[in-house]
Chains A and B, each alone.
Chain A
Amino acid sequence: QKEVEQNSGPLSVPEGAIASLNCTYSDRGSQSFFWYRQYSGKSPELIMFIYSNGDKEDGRFTAQLNKASQYVSLLIRDSQPSDSATYLCAVGGNQGGKLIFGQGTELSVKP
């Protein structure tokens, strides 16, 4: 079992729709959860982090964490073509500062 799992996609949504990206993790001791966006040929960029169960909203982005289910998600409301990228889930906290990355989900937002 992979430590952090994501569907590789591609996930295709129409412009203006809600994109839902999911991530599961295997280490119950994990304490911190991050979402990175990576445009093709570019480096990953941190867009959200969450430490506590529940929802955390930042603009059009909402991160959701459920530690009991070992599940973290990212919702993107009013999706735009500029949101088309690969989204990486990263989990940390039980191995010092090291983060474990998922393989990423490719999102395509169609105009």
Chain B
Amino acid sequence: ETGVTQTPRHLVMGMTNKKSLKCEQHLGHNAMYWYKQSAKKPLELMFVYNFKEQTENNSVPSRFSPECPNSSHLFLHLHTLQPEDSALYLCASSHGQGKGYGYTFGSGTRLTVV
């Protein structure tokens, strides 16, 4: 499989549940990103990883916990979420260095918190 793969595509979870989102890239990129996109709102950067080291945490609540075991895999662990966390969660990857290479996005996980 090529590109950036996100699983699951859809997720419904209760506020007391714990779940994880998975992202895998097959592009040889060394930077990976998590974005949140709520309805009719711009992309919100959550986390940035370069060579599996976290380089940015954009004031994200602790109920979101990222994990990057290697440059090809990125997880977002979710626990005790709130209904306002319902959104499309997008993973992206890029070469990460230099003058700014374009991102390749995964298909996203549509999360609904009930």
**Residues in chain A near residue B102, CB distance under 8 A:** 32, 34, 46, 49, 90, 99
As a 0/1 sequence over residues 93 to 112 of chain B, the CB contacts with chain A under 8 angstroms (1 = contact) are: 01111111111111110100
Chain B nearest CB, measured from A74 CB (Å): 14
Which of A30, A34, A43, A46 has most chain B Cβ within 10 Å? Answer: A43
Q: Interface size of B by Cβ–Cβ distance < 8 Å?
A: 28
Q: Interface size of A by Cβ–Cβ distance < 8 Å?
A: 25
Q: How far is the CA of A30 from the CA of B99 in the complex (A)?
A: 8
Which of A90, A97, A101 has most chain B Cβ within 10 Å? Answer: A97
Q: Is the CB of A97 within 8 A of B95?
A: yes
List chain B positions with a Cβ less than 8 A from chain A: 31, 33, 41-43, 45, 48, 50, 55-56, 88, 90, 94-108, 110
Q: Give the top 3 A-B pairs by smallest Cβ distance, nearest first.
A: A92-B100, A32-B100, A97-B96
